[in-house]
């Protein structure tokens, strides 16, 4: 899975491309873990190019976005597609994640 990274001040924006499923999840997990460590959790995941996710992708998001760090420094998700949102909702994971409608609002949330 290709993951682009953009810096916006003290926040990293990661843009994964393709389904968050199967063998691609481990590479995604490693990339996200590295960004979380480098930016003290100040990471936004732009999910606009993720058409769907499977159980391993859901587990990775749950583990990495609700970890031990303080809630103010947890990665945020933005631009969830309908299929991804539905999968997270059906598995009761969505309420545990911090989700925004836009990348910009997710970035701004770190400044509060």
Q: Which domain holds residue 40?
A: 2-111
pLDDT band, very low/low/confident/very high, at 112 (cuts 50, 70, 90): low
In total, how many domains does the chain have? 1
DSSP E strands, the chain:
2-8, 11-17, 43-46, 76-78, 99-100
Q: What is the DSSP letter of 46?
A: E
Predicted confidence band of residue 17 (pLDDT cuts 50, 70, 90): very high
Q: What percent of the chain has pLDDT over 90?
A: 81
In this prediction, residue 45 has a pLDDT band, given cuts at 50, 70 and 90, of: very high
Residues contacting 12, CB < 8 A, separation 6+: 5, 6, 35, 38, 39, 42, 43, 44
Instruction: Over range 20-46, report the average pLDDT.
Output: 93
Can you give the CATH number for the domain in which 20 is found?
A: 3.30.750.24
């Amino acid at each position: 899975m290709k993951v682009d990274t953009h810096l916006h001040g003290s926040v990293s924006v990661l843009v994964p491309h393709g389904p968050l499923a199967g063998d691609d999840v481990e590479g995604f997990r490693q990339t996200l873990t590295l960004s979380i460590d480098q930016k003290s959790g100040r990471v936004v995941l732009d999910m606009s190019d993720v058409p769907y996710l499977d159980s391993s992708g859901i587990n990775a998001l749950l583990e990495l976005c609700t970890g031990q760090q303080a809630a103010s420094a947890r990665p945020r998700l933005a631009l969830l597609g309908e299929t991804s949102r539905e999968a997270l909702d059906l598995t009761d994971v969505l309420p545990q994640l911090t989700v925004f409608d836009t990348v910009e609002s997710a970035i701004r949330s770190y400044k509060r």
